[in-house]
Amino acid sequence: MAPAPVVAYLIISDTSPERLTRLAAVLRASTPRGVIAARHDHAGGTLDLRRLRELDVDLLESASVERGSAAELMMHLRCIRRLLESARFDWLVLISGDDYPVRPIAEIEAALAGADTDGFIETHPCEPPATRRGVPVDEHALRYHYRWSSPRRSRPLARALAAALSPRLVVKATPAGVRIGVPAKRSPFRQPKHTLLTTPIRHNPLSSVQAERSPFGEGLECRYGTARFVLKRRAVEMIDAAVREHPELVLYYRDTLVPLESYIHTVLANDTSVSLRDESRRIEFSDAADVDMVLTSGADFAGPFDRGSDALLDAIDARIHRV
């Protein structure tokens, strides 16, 4: 039998501090050797620092970031680097503060000990948009094959401009306001097939001209998926190395929408030395009537559980965690 791995749980929270504390407590009760780190947006409420210290939770940065923004991606990458620098672990599990384990923690970690893969992360190919007029552009193609910026003019003018220039220019309403998108230029350089971490993606990455060009082509496939993942330390180190060695890719994603759901997926899926399972080991939870289905699904975590789910979590604790 493989020895039990040291698992690090990185909790990204921006809502209920009480839910974060409860999640940390149920994890710590079953994984005394595990690493628990939490990043809580201070706008979501005040943490119980005394209780979290008792649970040996490593608290990371707390500044607010806009969901779907480049700042959100960079926050995740900073948290990953902080864990790599400060903690010894074999696996990293990224979860939300609204998630909850729906399988005994000992079973989760035992399954990871015997896993014959470098990670579990949902990834899907993101094809470039069609160039023919009248062909609708897929939402994910709009996110990652277009460059997005904030208009300096009014929303009505931006929409009028978009209508006049369509399909080359698109206007979208986001939580941070209106964004204007234009198709990213395709790189004029032939891109050989490569391992992302060892072969440059583009020439002269600091050039303002290159910053406008799409890195995707024959040598690099755009991928996307949910933000949750379960990765071996080796794969986590590759993510951090990509930031250092290929800043041009991060710069490109800076001007996309929801880069958190594509950057990490693209880095890992394009590295031929990494083996991945196309799953996140998490299941969506939407209705209390689905709890039996969730508990028998084989998933490790479920979510999101809202603020009114305490009674439901009590039932899960009684059935699964015996607390």
Express as a percent the part of the chain with pLDDT over 70. Answer: 83
| 38 CB-side CA count, 13 A | 30
**Closest of 300, 192, 202, 292 to residue 245, by C-alpha:** 202
Cis upstream peptide for 259 (omega within 30°): no
188 pLDDT more than 50:
no
> Which one, of 120, 89, 98, lies nearest residue 8 by Cα?
89
What is the amino acid identity at position 112?
Answer: L
Look over the chain and give the mean of its residue pLDDT values, rounded to a whole number: 84
Side chain identity at 13, as an amino acid letter? S
- In this model, does residue 79 exceed pLDDT 90? yes
Say yes or no to pLDDT of 218 above 80: no
DSSP string, 27-94: HHHH-TTSEEEEEE-GGG----HHHHHHTTEEE-------TTSHHHHHHHHHHHHHHHHH---SEEEE
Domains along the chain? 7-124+222-321 (3.90.550.10), 128-193 (no CATH)
Q: Give the model's pLDDT for residue 131.
A: 67
pLDDT of residue 277: 95
| pLDDT tens readout for residues 269-300 | 999 999 999 999 998 876 666 778 888 888 99
Residue carrying the six token digits 């910026």? 149
So what's the pLDDT on residue 291? 77
